[in-house]
A and B are shown apart, each in its own frame.
Chain A
């Protein structure tokens, strides 16, 4: 009844009132519905991003734990398979029957035991150096990397060289260790998978950024390959690299050079303001 009265021509004010009220209500409801649905969409998107971030963190953590376990197993194997038998053999030479032997035989047994113990000491020293190279701690990243590359070249498997263009001030020891581990991992991957004949490392700085570039001429990865491997369950070493670089807020890029003849890996870090206390 109100509707019919409102529509009659003589009732202009009630018409305005009626349609105005309906219009305002429609606008209000439309705005509220829009706001609710928009916010739901944004929140769902944020939660999805959060879940993806958490999954990625979990994957990196698992990779890190697996790497640690593998490292421990390797050390345990080295000690058990190499150091253990050597020390057992030395013990054999130095058993109680030694006092019953003649002097010459006694001297020979002691000499043999001493040789074996020397070998064991060297073996344990090598294991220790592979865990934490003293060159890195005492002389810095440049020396440790040069040392590493010299050993690779010395083995005859490939031509390895490195050149630090701008490393007058050392980085923090923790940073140097992380970078060294990343380089070690990359070099191990190149040695294992790429079949390359040379590997060359260069270091530069540009403004507040620190760059390390690795070039090799074998089979390499592109950035899309790296991202694909990172998301999958394989590529443990690459995940380890990523989690280490994350600690330094660094980035890594894999690409094939413009000339298409070699692959390049670039590590980019923000240089910290306070250099290490002991200089080269």
Chain B
């Protein structure tokens, strides 16, 4: 069972867990992540098994970049409560989407979209840090890791930080090197899907006492 196979089919774990644990009880932002994972799974299946050429995949990945960015930033926008932070996401998103549209029209679609992917990674990392900052700044009784949103943000934080340098340097690598180092993306994908699975199991309504979260709650899960 290769890493690529595991990476392609790892989204099944959070998808199934969402349908079992969180379908009826989850908040809107988790539903957005469910749809994102569904889309990512479909995208991975298509790009792995497509009979069309490499060039076609890169064009497809450019579309994936923009949709991935919109869905993840929507999740973080819904998770934030501060209006100022939400406005930052809105303005940066308008800028990024405009850039992506121009890029898709003018770029060479036979190459991996290194710069947009790197910019997307940096923006998503920034949003994750904004979320973490807001969580520690606002007074609350619950531990941060007792909320599903934290685990989703952690998943994207780990994914974007692991793949940032990969995306920056991909265009400088040969095809063989790209194929070799793409394992970093695959492993990051697997780890992020595992973390999102934890989020889907960890629905706050299933905790015994949501006001006073049990530090050992994850052990019982």
Hey, which bits of chain A sit against chain B, CB under 8 A?
A: 2, 13-14, 16-17, 20-21, 24-25, 27-28, 31-32, 35-36, 38-40, 42-43, 46-47
Contacts and interface: CB of A to CB of B under 8 A. Distances in A.
Nearest to B184: A21
19 contacts: A13-B173, A14-B169, A14-B181, A16-B165, A17-B165, A17-B173, A17-B184, A20-B169, A21-B162, A21-B165, A24-B161, A27-B161, A35-B132, A35-B136, A36-B143, A36-B145, A43-B140, A46-B139, A47-B141
B144 A35 contact: yes
Contact of A24 (B129, B132, B165, B177): B165
B152 interface: no
B166 A43 contact: no
B135 interface: yes
Instruction: Name the prevailing secondary structure of the B interface residues.
Output: helix
A20 B168 CA distance: 10
Interface string B161-181: 110111011001100010011
Contacts, number: 63
A25 B158 contact: yes
A2 B161 CA distance: 20
Give chain B's interface residue range (CB within 8 Å of chain A).
Answer: 20 to 34
Given A36-B145, A38-B136, A46-B141, A13 B169 contact: yes
Contacts of B145: 36
Contacts of A39: 135-136, 143-144
Contacts of B143: 36, 39-40, 43
Interface in B173-214: 173, 177, 180-181, 184
A20 B158 contact: no
A32 B139 CA distance: 18
Given A20-B165, A24-B161, A43-B143, 6 more contacts: A13-B172, A14-B177, A17-B165, A20-B164, A28-B161, A36-B145
Given A13-B172, A43-B141, A32 B154 contact: yes
